[in-house]
Amino acid sequence: MLSDIIRKRGPVTKIGVLGMGYVGIPAAVLFADAPQFDTVYGFQRDSPSSGYKIAMLNRGECPLKGEEPGLEDLLKKVVAAGKFSCTSDFSRIRELDAVTLSIQTPFLNKEDLLPDFSALFEGIRNVGRNLTPGMLVVLESTITPGTTSGITCEILEDESGLVAGEDFALAHAPERVMVGRLLRNIREHDRIVGGIDEASTQRATELYTPVLTLGKVIPMTATAAEVTKTAENTFRDLQLAAVNELALYCEAMGINVYDVRAGIDSLKGEGITRAMLWPGAGVGGHCLTKDTYHLERGVQVLGKDLLDYPAGEPSLYVLARRINDFMPAHMFRLTKEALERVGRPVKGAKVALFGWAFLSNSDDTRNTPAEPYRDLLVKEGAMVSVHDPYVAEYPGVPIVPFVEEAVEGADAIVIFAGHNLYKGLDAPYLKNLTGKKHPVIVDGRNMVDPDTYIRLGFIYKGIGRGDKNRHEIVDG
């Protein structure tokens, strides 16, 4: 029995983490900092695009450039203590008691619900080739329900010749982190742990318990864990779509969505929950932009013939995803309308785009909504100058290092990310840099005071600001 093999093997002391990104790095250093564990290896392919991380991590330098409280200090600590190192030698997996995989799982085709598991499957094969009896394998990546006990199990068994649930343990314990608070989230959020059997769940619980502070382990089946992760992100996406749609309604009706939001939020009392998220220029990141499709694919694969749902009606969740995907296009419309108010076509206009990361005070550019917005401008013949204090480079997109360089001579200034830097913008200074009598400001994150800019002669547009978007032009 697996439980007997695990008992003979002893406690988990040596751990491997595959994938040195926003999930893998903080997970690895937290494992390494726990006194229960002796050794942690971070596994990273020595590829042209990401191989540089290996040397950086082994020097105690974090390759994540956003604001991550405590992460680099903890990394330096565990490297100096000899408890963590990064390697591209996957054969070292054989030395370990447990391996976790934190590898991206995007979609090739959202319409056909086809996920791109190529990178994840490569990681699983590397584990399978080096799997030993009694080892624990845990998927932390967000995956389509059914993946752990299905194709993952098959790959591991084919590569190793071992049997899941008999010779090795297998579980899904989805990451639940947000960029900007990675260490805190791993420590304080409850950890969903779903094994393919009871022995696997118990072994995974043993792995994660030492790194939790406020959080606790919530055990369930592997498929239930997969649904939990995809559903919690789908629900957040649904909430964002609801407030984004409300913002569009408020714009059309000439009112301020933030007044409405504050009014709704004021309704409090026993059993009353009306808290709303914030509207904005778009939703980015690795999770929310695709987890709906993992959930949708899961029910199509596991329960298609059993699903009872209104005939002919589209998925509420997929519709919400499309609303959020629409917001960059709406930002383009606001920009175009504002330019038209001063007789300036999009073609030939210079636009200063503030914020390339999808999340405030972060360098995370994955699925940034700023990209489709920029693409629309470029397609219409605009010249776009991108600034982001946390992002120095991005394939195919020049990013300037100074606000002044982006704004000089610009016809429009567009705020896409809620970086703290953009909260302190000086309106007269920006207008002077543009050299325009009526420059445009489009606020996608409610970062500026509309009246301040309108008084100076700016043409203002903002998400959900129906009360201001048709203001009179002032000769400031």
Region for residue 72 given its phi and psi (left: phi exceeds 0; alpha: psi -120 to 50; beta: otherwise) = alpha
Mean pLDDT of 226-249: 96
What pLDDT, on a 0 to 100 scale, did the predictor assign at position 113? 74
b/e sequence 386-406, b meaning 16+ C-beta within 10 Å? bbbbbbeebeebebeeebeeb
What pLDDT, on a 0 to 100 scale, did the predictor assign at position 193? 98
Active site residue 287: yes
What pLDDT, on a 0 to 100 scale, did the predictor assign at position 269? 80
pLDDT tens for each residue of 132-149: 999 999 999 999 999 999
What pLDDT, on a 0 to 100 scale, did the predictor assign at position 95? 97
Rounded-to-integer distance, Cα 264 and Cα 380, Å: 39
What pLDDT, on a 0 to 100 scale, did the predictor assign at position 32? 98
Residue type for 84, please? F
Q: Is 262 helix (H, G, I), strand (E, B) or coil?
A: helix
What pLDDT, on a 0 to 100 scale, did the predictor assign at position 271? 76
Rounded-to-integer distance, Cα 141 and Cα 118, Å: 13
Active-site hit among 153, 287, 290, 350 = 287
Asked whether the beta carbons of 237 and 321 are under 8 A apart, the reply is yes
pLDDT tens for each residue of 95-135: 999 999 999 888 777 777 788 899 999 999 999 999 999 99
Mean pLDDT of 198-210: 98
Q: For residue 476, is pLDDT > 80?
A: no
Chain centroid to CA 431:
34
Mean pLDDT of 413-437: 97
Mean pLDDT of 343-368: 95
Task: Name which of 230, 416, 234 is nearest 320 in CA terms.
Answer: 234
Active-site hit among 83, 110, 229, 468 = 229
H/E element, 139 = strand 136-139
Q: For residue 406, is pLDDT > 80?
A: yes
What pLDDT, on a 0 to 100 scale, did the predictor assign at position 393? 92
Q: For residue 274, is pLDDT > 80?
A: no
Tell the residue number behind the tokens 């040596």, with chain if given.
Answer: 14
Mean pLDDT of 201-227: 97
Mean pLDDT of 349-355: 98
Could you give the angle at which helices 24-33 and 71-80 cross, rounded to 10 degrees? Answer: 50
Its pTM stands at 0.89
Under 8 Å CB-to-CB from 410, ≥6 apart: which residues?
Answer: 350, 351, 352, 385, 433, 434, 436, 439
Active site residue 229: yes
Asked whether the beta carbons of 201 and 120 are under 8 A apart, the reply is no
Task: Name which of 52, 77, 78 is nearest 65 in CA terms.
Answer: 52
Rounded-to-integer distance, Cα 33 and Cα 112, Å: 43
